[in-house]
Structure 1
Amino acid sequence: MAAKDSVKKAEEKKSFSKYFRGVKSEFKKVVWPTKKQILNYTLIVIVACILFALLLTLFDKLVTFVLSFIYG
């Protein structure tokens, strides 16, 4: 019974170390964006959020106007 436990623990250690070696090798393959790209992407997201908020506000005002016109 003790031999099985020690073999099982050794296999777990191997699987953990194999997993982390795989993670490390995958991180080496990642192409990280430059600061300029991050800035551009951030500005695009901020502008898109502002435009969407304005569009949603405009749509809300339009629906409110139409409903107030219909129901007085």
Structure 2
Amino acid sequence: MGFGCLLLGDTEEAFACFSRVRVANPDLPRAYVGAAVSLALSGDVPAARPVAADRLEPSRFRPRDPPGC
């Protein structure tokens, strides 16, 4: 829904959607990217940078070993 709001130009609603997703599933990288894009498109680039960097560090998304290995 957040990306749909972005396509419609409603950056405030898009940021709200992505913020809810970040709370519900903090391991979903696209929620952070969407929130950062929403902020950047609304003109708040300084606020977008830490949102994107918050969880997008490469070490955070290493493949996990399957259970039992």
Give the structure with the higher percent helix.
1
TM-score range, shorter chain: under 0.3
Normalising by structure 2, what TM-score? 0.25
Larger Rg: 1
Which gives a bigger RCO, structure 1 or 2 (Cα 8 Å, sep 6+)?
Answer: 2
